[in-house]
């Protein structure tokens, strides 16, 4: 989603801002812009619809000046266009702002400010909600308030969640940043005689690994020598920065053609890192030192609700399965954006588990705060981002140690979330006594094979490429699975949609004859996830029904399953896995199929159209 960068220091801000924005490109955007101020207060604002290269191409002369802010926009209010791109200036040109989030009451505020603007012979310059923010700040400055007070006052007028960065011609040596609600974070980076800000850590790592994360309600004043923060309680302080150990090389693409491909190949390592030290077989233990929830609390859990969005929701669906099967606890899953507006029946003995790789998805955070406000039920966040909002809202977190995921499509974080959910199911089952020590050890031993199952699945890359090539002109896919493979069928369809822009539906195979079968004919390929397991025979019947309608079948099954292989048009063999572990064996294949369909269609794999890596707006 939208990205923010900022710089103040001795160097020329423009190139640093552009380079920072490049590192945020993976979040998805449709326009970009920068504003640079020199020490005399002279301001240059440059913005363009399209990719960053369009912005760069439009810059005839890089503005001088060592202070600036930049933005990549993903349109919410007003079409993608030059005029709607950020930064936005107040009508007198004094205050310039970029924003992530939504000003929900912008219509009211525009109406309120309209007369003043008209009196001054000015008008709104964009269709965005953001433009009210510099206008509100500048109105406060005009009545003699300090810029910090003007920011506090302006932010208090906004409804919604907002992360902003601002510069002012009246204070040319500083940038300001503020965070209100969960519209994504702002990270401040410390250099030598220079300071940086960004909405995401990767934009800073080329410059510094010494950082401070703004909290909800913080307003930061940043000059070349440091930062002063006014917290939610309005006391001013100089924060103590953290040292982060992310390796900038880890976010480079390396020899891979796309970040997505790199991240698919990183899955065995991501899984090993997530499991390492958390799954021990002799004596058996799971998440022993990791979960800040005591066994007493876990013993009292009578029900588990797993929530998430998109790929994380599919992980949640598989997690539900494991919690029922391994822990023996009643479990449900829910789509966070629906759950947060319902009044479901939870209680203090319900454990709510939120799966969110970014830890910043607005609907998932909304659901978490719904749980906290209404039921006070214990909450666990499963996330890839330490210090993200989800980790702050939860009572305990399981970090999935996947390293930065740059491709918009979630791949290795899906695998990492699965490992965390499986570990949680084991820990819960043992704490409640529903899992015997021997079964506990057995379940953990099985999990330790997950990295190699994924690795062997990745070994099918060439076969996936060949099959994808053959079907790359199909306009529809049906993906079928049963049991624990049903959520994977949905994940496979999501991957096809988001990467290849092909219409695809994931269905429980048993549901097919209740409607979707009407669609099938010779031009409608069906992907069947059919490893040998308890429901294999039922999958075989579904495949027979598909074949009878002459729809081509691509089956993913156990290596060496000749009965299945000879029955279908295309077969991809994955390592046979114990019934609860099949998601690990199948995951890379469904990802690679979608990747290669998109590749053969020449699409933008790491930044699919209309999508954002972190969805911080409703």
Task: Give the pairing of strands 43-49 and 219-223.
Answer: unpaired
Q: Which residue, 102 or 220, is less far from ligand M6R as judged by CB?
A: 102
By CB under 6 A, how many residues form the interface with ligand M6R?
A: 16
Stretch binding ligand M6R (CB under 6 A), from 259-267, 307-315, 374-382, 522-530: 307-315
Query: Does 487 sit near ligand M6R (CB under 6 A)?
Result: no
DSSP 275-293: HTTTEEETTEEESTTT--S
- Look up 613 and say whether it is catalytic: yes
CB of 22 to ligand M6R, least distance (A): 20
The closest alpha carbon to 424, from 279, 303, 281, belongs to 279
Looking only at the bridges linking them, the beta strands covering 279-281 and 219-223 are unpaired
- Report the distance separating Cα 146 and Cα 477, nearest Å: 59
Is residue 16 a contact residue for ligand M6R (CB under 6 A)?
no
SS3 letters across 354-389: EECCCCCCHHHHHHHHHHHHHCCCCEEEEECCCCCH
> How many whole angstroms separate alpha carbon 613 and alpha carbon 594?
17
Q: Does 267 bind ligand M6R (CB under 6 A)?
A: no
Element (H, E) at 54: helix 52-58
Q: Is 432 helix (H, G, I), strand (E, B) or coil?
A: helix
Measured from the CB atom, the residue of 293 and 408 that comes closer to ligand M6R is: 408
Q: How far apart are the first and last CA of the chain?
A: 11
* DSSP symbols for 401-417: ------SSS--HHHHHH
Determine, following the binding rule CB under 6 A, whether residue 199 of this chain makes contact with ligand M6R.
Answer: no
Among the listed ranges 159-167, 272-280, 310-318, 589-597, the one in contact with ligand M6R (CB under 6 A) is 310-318
CB of 275 or CB of 336, closer to ligand M6R: 336
- Angle between helix axes 132-142 and 147-157 (nearest 10 degrees) is 130
The reply on whether position 616 binds ligand M6R by CB under 6 A is no
SS3 393: helix
- In terms of residues, how long is the chain? 618
For residues 306 and 542, which CB has a smaller minimum distance to ligand M6R in the complex?
A: 306
Minimum distance of ligand M6R from residue 414's CB (angstroms): 8
CA-to-CA dists, residue 418 to 378, 399, 407, 424, 547, angstroms: 20, 12, 19, 10, 32
Residue 412 C-beta: closest distance to ligand M6R, Å: 11
- CB 262, min distance to ligand M6R, A: 15
CA distance 327 to 429: 4
DSSP code per residue over 230-272: E-TT--EE-PPPEE----GGGGS-TT-SSHHHHHHHTHHHHHH
Q: Which stretch binds ligand M6R (CB under 6 A): 96-104, 134-142, 573-581, 609-617?
A: 609-617
| Distance of closest approach, residue 606 Cβ to ligand M6R, in angstroms | 11
Helix (H) or strand (E) holding 131: none
Cα separation, 6 vs 165, whole angstroms: 7
Complex with ligand M6R: residue 90 or 614, whichever CB lies closer = 614
Nearer Cβ to ligand M6R (398/611): 611
Q: Which residue, 547, 542, 587, is CA-closest to 569?
A: 547
Partnered with residue 285 across adjacent β-strands are 280
Choice from 498, 561, 570, 606 touching ligand M6R (CB under 6 A): 498
Residue 110 is among the residues annotated as catalytic for this protein: no
166 vs 260 by CB, closer to ligand M6R: 260
**Rounded (5°) CA angle 12-16-21:** 145
Q: Is 492 in the site for ligand M6R (CB under 6 A)?
A: no
Q: Does the protein bind ligand M6R through residue 606 (CB under 6 A)?
A: no
Stretch of residues binding ligand M6R (CB under 6 A), selected from 80-88, 425-433, 534-542, 610-618: 610-618
Sheet holding 67-73, edge to edge: 43-49, 31-37, 67-73, 3-8, 195-198, 187-190, 210-213, 242-243
By CB under 6 A, residue 614 contacts ligand M6R:
yes
Report the residue number, 46 or 615, with the smaller CB distance to ligand M6R.
615
Select from 263-271, 304-312, 514-522, 523-531 the region that touches ligand M6R (CB under 6 A): 304-312
Catalytic residue among 180, 495, 497, 613: 613
Pairing of strands 379-383, 396-399: parallel
Nearer to ligand M6R, 358 or 446 (CB): 358
Q: Which of 49, 138, 274, 311 binds ligand M6R (CB under 6 A)?
A: 311
Give the nearest distance from C-beta 128 to ligand M6R in angstroms. Answer: 23
Site for ligand M6R in 344-363 (CB under 6 A): 356-358, 361
Using CA atoms, how far apart are residues 404 and 168, in angstroms rounded to an integer?
33
Catalytic residue among 2, 402, 426, 496: 2
Q: Which 401-440 positions form the footprint of ligand M6R (CB under 6 A)?
A: 408-410
Residue 5 or 309 with smaller CB distance to ligand M6R? 309
| 310 binds ligand M6R per the rule CB under 6 A | yes
Single residue of 186, 309, 353, 572 touching ligand M6R by CB under 6 A: 309
Nearest partner of 10 among 30, 34, 39, 32, judged by Cα: 39
Provide, rounded to whole angstroms, the least separation between the CB of residue 205 and ligand M6R: 20
84 lines the binding site for ligand M6R (CB under 6 A): no
Structural tokens at position 105: 């009451």
Within 173-192, the residues that bind ligand M6R by CB under 6 A are none
Question: Smallest gap, in angstroms, from Cβ of residue 359 to ligand M6R?
Answer: 7
607 binds ligand M6R (CB under 6 A): no
* 615 touches ligand M6R by CB under 6 A: yes
Q: Does the footprint of ligand M6R cover residue 364 (CB under 6 A)?
A: yes
Q: Which residues are near ligand M6R by CB under 6 A? A: 309-312, 356-358, 361, 364, 408-410, 498, 611, 614-615
Active site (catalytic) residues = 2, 613
């Amino acid at each position: 989603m939208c990205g923010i960068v900022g710089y103040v220091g001795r160097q020329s801000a423009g190139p640093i801002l552009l380079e920072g924005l490049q590192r945020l490109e993976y979040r998805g955007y449709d326009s970009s812009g920068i504003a640079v101020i020199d020490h005399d207060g002279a301001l240059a604002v440059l913005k363009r619809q399209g990719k960053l290269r369009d912005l760069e191409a439009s810059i005839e002369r890089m503005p001088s000046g060592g202070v600036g802010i930049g933005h990549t926009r993903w349109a919410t209010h007003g079409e993608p266009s030059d005029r709607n791109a950020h930064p936005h200036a107040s009508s007198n040109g004094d205050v310039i702002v970029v924003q992530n989030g939504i000003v929900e009451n912008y219509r009211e505020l525009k109406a309120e400010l309209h007369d003043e603007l008209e009196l001054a012979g000015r008008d709104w310059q964009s269709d965005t909600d953001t433009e009210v923010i510099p206008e509100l700040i500048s109105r406060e400055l005009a009545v003699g308030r300090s810029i910090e007070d003007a920011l506090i006052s302006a932010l208090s007028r906004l409804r919604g969640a907002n992360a902003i960065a601002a510069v002012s011609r009246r204070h040319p040596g500083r940038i300001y940043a503020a965070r209100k609600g969960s519209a994504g974070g702002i990270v401040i980076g410390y250099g030598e005689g220079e300071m940086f800000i960004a909405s995401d850590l990767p934009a800073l790592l080329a410059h510094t690994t010494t950082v401070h994360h703004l909290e909800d309600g913080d307003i930061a004043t940043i000059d070349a020598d440091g930062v002063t923060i006014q917290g939610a309680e309005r006391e001013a302080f100089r924060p103590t920065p953290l040292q982060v150990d992310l390796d900038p090389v880890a976010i480079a693409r390396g020899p891979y053609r796309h970040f997505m491909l790199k991240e698919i190949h990183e899955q065995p390592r991501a899984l090993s890192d997530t499991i390492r030290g958390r799954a021990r077989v002799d004596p058996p233990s799971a998440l022993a030192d990791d979960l800040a929830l005591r066994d007493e609390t876990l013993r009292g859990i009578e029900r588990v609700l797993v929530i998430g969005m998109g790929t994380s929701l599919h992980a949640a669906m598989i997690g539900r399965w494991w919690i029922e099967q391994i822990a023996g606890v009643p479990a449900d899953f829910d789509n966070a954006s629906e759950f947060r507006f319902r009044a479901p029946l939870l209680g203090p003995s319900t454990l709510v588990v939120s799966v969110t790789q970014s830890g910043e998805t607005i609907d998932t955070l909304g659901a978490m705060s719904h749980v906290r406000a209404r039921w006070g039920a214990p909450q666990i966040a499963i996330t890839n981002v330490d210090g993200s909002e989800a980790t702050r809202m939860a009572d305990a977190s399981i970090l999935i140690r996947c390293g930065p995921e740059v491709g918009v499509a979630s791949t290795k974080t899906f695998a990492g979330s699965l490992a965390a959910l499986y570990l949680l199911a084991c820990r819960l089952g043992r704490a409640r006594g529903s899992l015997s020590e021997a079964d506990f050890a057995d379940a953990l031993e099985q999990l330790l094979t997950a990295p190699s199952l994924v690795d062997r699945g990745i070994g099918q890359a060439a076969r996936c490429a060949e099959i994808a090539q053959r079907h790359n002109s199909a306009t529809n896919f049906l993906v079928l699975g049963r049991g624990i493979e049903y959520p994977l069928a949905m994940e496979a369809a999501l991957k096809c949609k988001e990467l290849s822009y092909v219409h695809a539906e994931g269905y429980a195979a048993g549901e097919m004859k209740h409607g979707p079968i009407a669609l099938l004919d010779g031009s409608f390929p069906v992907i069947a996830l059919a490893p040998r397991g308890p429901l294999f025979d039922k999958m075989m019947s579904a495949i027979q029904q598909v074949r009878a309608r002459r729809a081509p079948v691509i089956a993913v099954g156990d290596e060496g399953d000749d009965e299945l292989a000879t029955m279908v048009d295309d077969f991809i063999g994955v390592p046979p896995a114990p019934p609860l572990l099949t998601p690990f064996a199948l995951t890379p294949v469904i990802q690679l199929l979608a990747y290669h369909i998109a590749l053969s269609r020449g699409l933008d794999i790491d930044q699919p159209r209309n999508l954002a890596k972190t969805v911080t707006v409703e």
